[in-house]
Amino acid sequence: MSRQTGYLIKIAVVGIIAIAGIAFLTTVSNIVKMVIISALLAYILDPLANFLESRGMSRTSATVAIFAVFFIFTGISYMVFLPLLSGEIQALQSGLNPAKAGLIIDRLEDFMVANIPFLGGKDLNLLTRLENSMAKTGEWIFDHFLDTASVITSMILIPFIIFFLMKDGREFKKAFVSIMPNQYFEFTLYLLYKLNAQIGNYLRGQFIDATIIGVLSVGALWFIGVKYFFIIGTFAGLANLIPYFGPIAGATIAIIVSILQTGSFQMALYVIIAFTLIKLFDDILIQPIVVARTVHMHPLVVLLSVLIGGKLFGILGMLLSVPIVGFMKVVARESIHNYRRYREV
Amino acid sequence: MNKLWENIFKPRQNKKDEIDDILMKIPVFQDLKPHALKKIKCILHQREYKTNEIIFSQGDVGLGMYIIERGSVEIVCDPERHILAELQDGDFFGELALLDDSPRSASAITKTPCRMLCFFKPELLDLLDRDPKLGSRILFKLAWTIGERLKTTNQQVKELSCSTYSTKPIQ
């Protein structure tokens, strides 16, 4: 067998293994999503476990302590917020149809048909469309987050995976590095080190930022008197994890709900002011302090990454697009840098 | 039955003792208590190399130090492959990379099949985070080791310059 044939066979084998791997991961995509979410949470909580370790606790005790606090907090949140949350989602599912909202949307529709010529005087059915989309959103949230089977599976599996990732994460990393050939071993470790420094800070910063924005949004919407303030505020916080699109999506939902609730634009104006102030507060105060060291990417790259991530993998793709592109950037930059230096030597 | 148990556990125990013995001879890990040594062993990477295998090349990104558990390694300077040192079991090299980000100043190539213990910067930084007392102790020992090497180098430079001046003809 010639050297070239052997090389081609090697490439073919690697290709087949890669395709089989991707097919397998697609089949178990729900489990993969769960593992990704768990890994992210474990990664975010890692400094906390390190801090407890520095106070003299063993890794296992530190992980158990974090879990104990987490379960107590979740238990209290479950008792306090779940009835409120499920009530709000059920109301969203059943749709909204106050007379005032109907009137204002009809007026808006008439205005659009009369003034925007390319619509050609068609009946837009804005109210029905809005109601349908809101009912669909409610159903989607219920199906994805509050469906009993998926909640039970996630509530058991995610903490279970997080626990072991936190407790034995170092061993997993060591085992991963140990399978690397000697030639790439140190460079792999170097890449992981650089990635941890850049993307770790970004992820932890974004997580803290989303929590602060979520709390501020819930508070502001409650103060203004918007219905479903808890679910919209929480959504706004979570959506903030997605650059550019997130804050707009959170504000848009709050504006629509406020219009449908009161039938006037006054509350919507307050919502716009509140979200603008929160965004300003985020950009001026929270982002510079919390998300201090980011992945340093051009806004256009961030925008395209989010769009592509969303198209390929949905919301999870949008959430992870920036750190993944950041990861690719670090790998490419360090590899090229290393290759150039190698050539110079 | 007892023999079976002995066979299962004995080699592993011996291997652990071997690593302990090697680490205790390295100035950076000297005088550490057993529980601290156990923590260090947990973060070390163990690698096997064949004869004439490159461990790292001059100009590579350096991330940490290598301890020879078994075998022989040559430290060579490119491009002429001038041999700077030949290291044996229990010796260590590359410790400067634990402190700075500059590229490797020489290449390390195995002369015989080798088993190495590797101690890297990310693990040292992580240790400083988790156990600041042990981490700073290691950093102190590392500084001491590098200081000792600097003293030796100074001595060698002094001797070299003295011999150069003494052989220089008076003009």
Render pLDDT for A220-264 as a digit per residue (tens, 0 to 9). 988 888 877 888 888 888 888 887 777 888 888 888 888 777 767
Whether residue A30 has pLDDT greater than 50: yes
DSSP string, A164-230: HHHHHHHHHHHHHHHTS-HHHHHHHHHHHHHHIIIIIHHHHHHHHHHHHHHHHHHHHHHHHT-TTHH
- CA dihedral A267→A269→A270→A272, nearest 10 degrees, is 130
Render pLDDT for A179-208 as a digit per residue (tens, 0 to 9). 888 888 888 888 888 888 777 777 888 888
Distance CA A213, CA A218 (A): 8
pLDDT for the residue numbered A88 = 65
pLDDT band, residue A127 (cuts 50/70/90):
low
The gap from C-alpha B21 to its chain's centroid, in whole angstroms, comes to 14
Phi, psi at B46, each rounded to 5°: -110, 130
- Tell me if residue B5 falls in helix, strand or coil: helix
Q: Which of chain A's residues have a Cβ under 8 Å away from the Cβ of B126?
A: 50, 170
Render pLDDT for A38-73 as a digit per residue (tens, 0 to 9). 888 888 888 889 899 888 888 899 999 998 998 888
User: What's the average model confidence in pLDDT over A160-164?
Assistant: 89
A50, A170, A183 ranked by CB distance to B129: nearest: A50
Whether residue B7 has pLDDT greater than 50: no
Share of chain A above pLDDT 70, in %: 75
Render pLDDT for B35-76 as a digit per residue (tens, 0 to 9). 888 889 888 999 999 999 999 888 888 888 999 999 999 999
pTM of the prediction? 0.70
With CB atoms and an 8 Å threshold, state whether A342 touches B43: no
Residue of B nearest to A51 (CA): B130
Render pLDDT for B103-140 as a digit per residue (tens, 0 to 9). 888 899 999 999 999 999 989 998 998 889 999 999 99
Residue B169 is given by DSSP the state P
With CB atoms and an 8 Å threshold, state whether A186 touches B54: no
Boundaries of every domain in chain A? 1-94+147-172
Which of B35, B46, B60 to mutate: most A Cβ within 10 Å?
B60
The upper half-sphere exposure of residue A333, i.e. CA atoms within 13 Å in the direction of its Cβ, equals 14
Task: Look over chain A and give the mean of its residue pLDDT values, rounded to a whole number.
Answer: 78
- The residues of A whose Cβ lies within 8 A of any Cβ of B are 47, 50-51, 53-54, 170, 174, 177-178, 182-183, 185-187, 189-190, 192-193, 196, 334, 338, 341-342, 344-345
Q: Does B132 touch chain A (CB under 8 A)?
A: yes
CB contact residues (below 8 A), chain B span 91-130, against chain A = 103, 118, 120-122, 126, 129-130
A54, A182, A342 ranked by CB distance to B49: nearest: A182
Distance CA A210, CA A232 (A): 13
Domain CATH for B28: 2.60.120.10
Q: What's the one-letter identity of residue A262?
A: T
CA proximity to A167, closest of A60, A66, A69 = A60
Q: Which of chain A's residues have a Cβ under 8 Å away from the Cβ of B122?
A: 189, 192-193, 196
Range of the domain at B43: 2-167
Whether residue A343 has pLDDT greater than 60: no
Task: Look over chain B and give the mean of its residue pLDDT values, rounded to a whole number.
Answer: 83
A182, A186, A192 ranked by CB distance to B53: nearest: A182
Residue of B nearest to A196 (CA): B122
How many domains would you assign to chain B?
Answer: 1
Q: Which of chain B's residues have a Cβ under 8 Å away from the Cβ of A338?
A: 60-61
Whether residue B171 has pLDDT greater than 60: no
Which of B42, B55, B61, B100 to mutate: most A Cβ within 10 Å?
B61
User: What's the average model confidence in pLDDT over A307-329?
Assistant: 80
User: What's the average model confidence in pLDDT over A92-100?
Assistant: 56
With CB atoms and an 8 Å threshold, state whether B61 touches A187: yes
Continuous H helices in chain A: 3-27, 29-54, 59-94, 99-115, 126-141, 148-178, 182-195, 201-224, 229-239, 245-262, 266-281, 287-290, 299-344
B42, B103, B118 ranked by CB distance to A341: nearest: B103
